[in-house]
Amino acid sequence: MSERSDGTSDGSGRITYDELALFADNAADYGVAYDGPPEVRRVEVDVAPDRRLSALLWGTTPPEFVLIHGGAQNAHTWDTVALALGRPLVAFDLPSHGHSDTITIQPGERRTAALARDVAIAIGRLAPMAGVVVGMSLGGLTSIELAASHPELVRRLALVDITPGVNHEKAKAIADFVRGPATFASFDELLARTVQHNPTRSESSLRRGILHNAIQLDDGSWRWRHRRHDEAFADDAEIDATAQLWEAVDRITMPVMLVRGMRPQSVVDDEDEAELRRRVPGARIEHFADAGHSVQGDMPVELAAVLADFAGVAGVAATEGS
């Protein structure tokens, strides 16, 4: 593989990269004004004697936003949103994803409840006064659990293309992609599969996503960084447990916003939106016409603007040409 700005080959097929050195590429891809590297560092929080939760901490003042990614993703999925916001925030790697340790689920415990348990500890340490918790997909379901069980940590809740109405049919395309091959012979093979799944995204953005979310093995092959046995929407029991989260929605008292992608790749439909409106009458609904399920990847600057407005903070960083 030839040398590239977002991943460098050493000539032997091994690829190295600096996870904090790609922000200029994010900004260039989406037209976000860029005046130098942002203040970002990776931090870890002990959530149990033998487990840590990893996160990217943006800025030098207390975080105003908490960003929680979807299944099979990691904290870097929010990079462009964070650049556009230009506000202090923290983006977590969920347990069993990114650089975080593997999840521990107690007998009879919902997966999302176990995730929320760890996230609550980490928010309490890193962002106890954050104004908005933003959860996408699995991160959104986790955020619903969090809002119901730890309302003191969630002043406003933004759900990105998710409600408890998710089911096998709605999530099939995503689940099929996540449950693909366990390993890939080369980076290019992994990239080709990712491009096929995300035909509307630029190759450069998908290349960065893979570098953040995959690991090259000793034999030169690649595997995803997340633990495959912790895939979202794994089985009927998982779907049933997800549906039970409507009861958690009923206990939510803080302002709620649903961000819904309107392309076919979305997992939210009109029935889900209506059910959320019924259970949370004052919920704010935002439709993103040119986004699918991963609104943060398809329309990150526009999402940042809506999140800033929801939080009542200054607008997003200026875009080039504005």
Catalytic residue numbers, as ranges: 137, 161, 293
Cβ(207)–Cβ(7) under 8 Å? yes
**Which helix (H) or strand (E) is 222 found in, with range?**
strand 222-224
| Paired tokens of 77 | 């999925």
CA dihedral sign, ordered 173, 178, 182, 188: positive
Nearby residues of 285 by Cβ (< 8 Å), 6 or more positions away: 257, 258, 260, 273, 276, 277
* Backbone region of residue 130 per phi and psi (left: phi > 0; alpha: psi in -120 to 50; beta: other values): beta
By the 8 A CB rule, do 287 and 254 touch? no
> What is the identity of the amino acid at 131?
G
Answer for the pair 140, 160: CB distance below 8 angstroms, yes or no. yes
Contact of 273 with 166, CB cutoff 8 Å: no
Joined tokens for residue 198: 């995300």
- The answer to whether the beta carbons of residues 311 and 131 sit under 8 Å apart is yes
